[in-house]
Structure 1
């Protein structure tokens, strides 16, 4: 910034003006607050923190990101008990009381992401962690199904904080050539939570009752929130530099000190701009809109499977409540394999460019050796799962099918999320929030028609319909790898 200012001032051809310009530039440089030079060595910059400190923060954010999606499906095996206790037999209501939590995931990011980019990430994490504990306790004490649905919705709104801000925290801490690995670890939570949840929930419900699901979540998340409060500091550079500038203003009494990352916009206007940023990106940015739509459709398909696994495996294979929870493990195994695959290869192209002194671009996160296997695995797995359950082939075959779906899902999700983080680095939380909003909406609403679809088309053709749709959308990430840079540079929006 200082170099650009000096270059501009040097263009003047009047000697008195040149001297005035030099004085003004020196004054601005003196009060321009940034990392100490060289910036790559300033210990105050999150990028320069020790590896141990960085991975502790990533680990804590990842654990919270695991706990909150865990709550989305851990409750599923107890739905029969809930319906019996509250005297209802509605299949639609049984699906909604589970998926309403994910609906909370759709509304939370619209508030949480802007707040994290306006006033910092840490306090947003801590407040939402406390609210998550409170609403789990409220769910455990719910006197009726209406109040249970209401509290689960609020639980989802609070619980989405780590999912919304986690990618932004990683962008604050980790350089591009290592970011894919960190994103892989963080992504374990959102994907494994809904899978491990029913397994644990199935045994817990069978041993106690559905209310203990929420008590266990409240106890574990309460303990994690206390540890999180003490171990996770603020990482957002604009906030850290503004605090540094505030300290200088206070210690010197000179109000001219200003963060280099300060946009110079009044606080109220900045807050409003932050608040509308995720929606603006979703509507006006073709990158965010197309990628979010693709992920949303795939996420909706995944939640159709998640909300019907129990009914399918109990009905087709005679599984018990606890055993039906184990049916989610096929997806988990596939996701674990996919995570290892994408975590190993995600940074490869970036590292090669860095070693060759070339400038990486966000589209390097979408190499064909990741996007082609990932996008094709999803329809393939849906075909295997659908027709094997339709013909009641041995249960291991549909489990293999769900494993293939899981492999494809995490591969595509990881590629797209890391791409959005690299493409919108400063506003990574808002970009991921826009994606989370859309995918959570479909993740909550599509399962409501899953049972009706299976009733009308059967498991074979019902899942084949999903597979054909997934296949039709498969070229999206592949096309972005080739033409995404041109689209991204030509369609800039004011954020």
Structure 2
């Protein structure tokens, strides 16, 4: 029997009020009944699973015998406590809070160091504008390459091993930052800290997809996204005063202490959520208990060994390069992220030069974007699931494009260029500092709405391989987030703050139609996508 469905098909909601998007009534030891695609695989999208059964009559008996040893959730599947979809709300909330804190901590480290850059340049005897920017953005460059390793490992070996490994290496590399003796050492370990710290940022959405049903996933994603969006905002505020009081090295020591505590907490709190890994371990237990090697997990790919590993590591780049759904969406959010990091890496210089802020006060210049982020998150959390819930209430099938409603993507995409104009010309004419802060708030509002819409859209489109899809987005996003800021000060020096930010606003405006077009034509493009997942 060949199972197939449209790309990005969302799980049907089951009628009872438990966690009911999980698979229906299949046992690990009985012959598999012929159920619908979604009933068979619950929150997994079948096109992502590389599962195909031979339907020829000659193989029916063999398939039936094989199905007797197929390991799946216990009957009824929507009550199996091993299925993360059936975990209690308390356990799910604790898991989301834990990964959200880790996801907050590493982006915090990316920008908390920014107000101390002038002190670092003085200590290491350099005055290069490129170094001044790169010492902050190289952390984000590590964020760009880490997902290429992290996401495939999470889909091969499970989420937990990736969380724990990344957390430990992040602590080690942050300590090395704190004891750096020259600019080269600092740059190298900033990159490695970013590389290791990207674990939760990359696979956190995958964990949410593993245990949260589609109708509530938007709210969960909004809560989790507080980390990567608030981290770069709160970091410079705390870092500015900490640098002023104790020196730039203490920024890294504080991060080390917090990361050490979170690493220990993760060991005790986090449980595996990836269905493949859970069922594989369940099959191993059954083989050991019965002495019968025939037990196998249903989600096992027919591709084995080195080829499976190769395909898993290639998947994020395949999604990025060969799927128009992912490539265009990732390009748009990467452009916005790069422009946002131009602001983050130049706020200190702009507000010190234009408004005579001290090192400590310069950190407060990030508050505007923080306020905008809060407002954008409130809007996203309130309306992200709106169309999905409405369709389910009408017994209609939700589609990933329901995550791109015009009433969110239109104001979100247009507010970004408007914010750049307010920020740029307000700072250029040195009007009251609140005016450029309002501009950054408008930018933050737009970016978070677009980011949430696109991330949830990618998770619903590449459900089972959500971690790889988000990794593809993260690679390009952080690559531009690291490299575009290198030109920030040069553009401001050449064009001025007014025209420089007008240029950035025009770039954002040119890319603004992308999510709106996908909201209309996305299903057609998904159906034509030919990506070997």
Mark yes or no: TM-score above 0.5. Answer: yes
Partners of 2:143 and 2:330 lie apart in 1 by 14
Report 1:25-36 matches (<5 A): 25-36=63-74
SS of structure 2 residue aligned to 1:470 = helix
* Candidates 236, 240, 243, aligned match of 2:274: 236
List runs of 5+ in structure 2 lacking aligned partners: 2-31, 37-52
**Aligned-pair CA distance for 1:281:** 0.8
* Other-structure match for 2:82: 44
CA positional deviation for 1:4? 5.1
Q: Does structure 2 conserve the Cα–Cα contact (< 8 Å) formed by 1:77 and 1:310?
A: yes
The superposition leaves residues 425-454 of structure 1 with CA deviations (integer Å, 9 ceiling, x where unpaired) of: 111000000100001011001000000101
Query: Is contact 2:318–2:532 with CA below 8 Å preserved after alignment?
Result: no
Distance 1:96 1:322 in 2: 21
Distance 2:98 2:177 in 1: 25
Contact 1:101–1:153 (CA under 8 A) maintained in structure 2: yes
Displacement of 1:91 after TM fit?
1.2
Q: Does 2:211 correspond to 1:173?
A: yes
Cα displacement string for residues 264-321 of structure 1 (whole angstroms, at most 9, x for unaligned residues)? 2222211111111111111101111000000010000000011111111010011111
Structure 1, unmatched stretches of 5+, are none
| Structure 1 vs Structure 2 CA RMSD | 1.5
1:76 Cα offset (Å) = 0.6
Structure 1 residue 43, shift from structure 2 partner: 1.2
Paired position in structure 1 for 2:319: 281
TM-score (norm 2): 0.90
In structure 2, do the counterparts of structure 1 residues 458 and 255 end up closer, same or farther at CA, with 3 Å as the change threshold?
same
User: In structure 2, what is the equivalent of residue 102 of structure 1?
Assistant: 140
CA distance in 2, matches of 1:264, 1:203: 56
Quick one: which of 376, 381, 384 aligns to 1:338?
Answer: 376
Aligned partners of 1:156, 1:11: CA distance in 2, in Å? 51
Superposed CA deviations along residues 351-382 of structure 1, whole A, max 9, x for unmatched, are: 11111221111111000011001000100100
2:98 corresponds in structure 1 to 60
For 1:364-420, what per-residue CA distance to the aligned partner results, in whole angstroms no more than 9, with x for missing partners?
100001100100010010010011001111111111000000000000000000000
Compared with structure 1, are the counterparts of its residues 11 and 262 closer, same or farther at alpha carbon in structure 2 (3 Å cutoff)? closer
Q: 1:212 aligns with which of 244, 250, 255?
A: 250
**Structure 1 residue 11 displacement after superposition:** 8.4
The 5-angstrom pairing of residues 259-408 of structure 1 reads 259-408=297-446
Partner of 1:414: 452
Q: Work out the CA distance in 2 between the residues paired with 1:338 and 1:10.
A: 50
Q: How does 1:192-203 map onto structure 2 within 5 Å?
A: 192-203=230-241
5 Å matches for 1:73-112?
73-112=111-150
Q: Which residue matches 2:480?
A: 442
Q: Deviations over 1:63-94 (max 9, x none)?
A: 00000000000001111111111111111111
Q: Tell me the matched-pair count.
A: 487
Once residues 185 and 111 of structure 1 are traced to their aligned partners in structure 2, the CA distance between those partners, rounded to angstroms, is 25
Distance across 1 between alignment mates of 2:340 and 2:211? 31
Q: Distance in 2 between matches of 1:266 and 1:388?
A: 59
Indicate conservation of the 8 Å contact 1:183/1:418, yes or no: yes
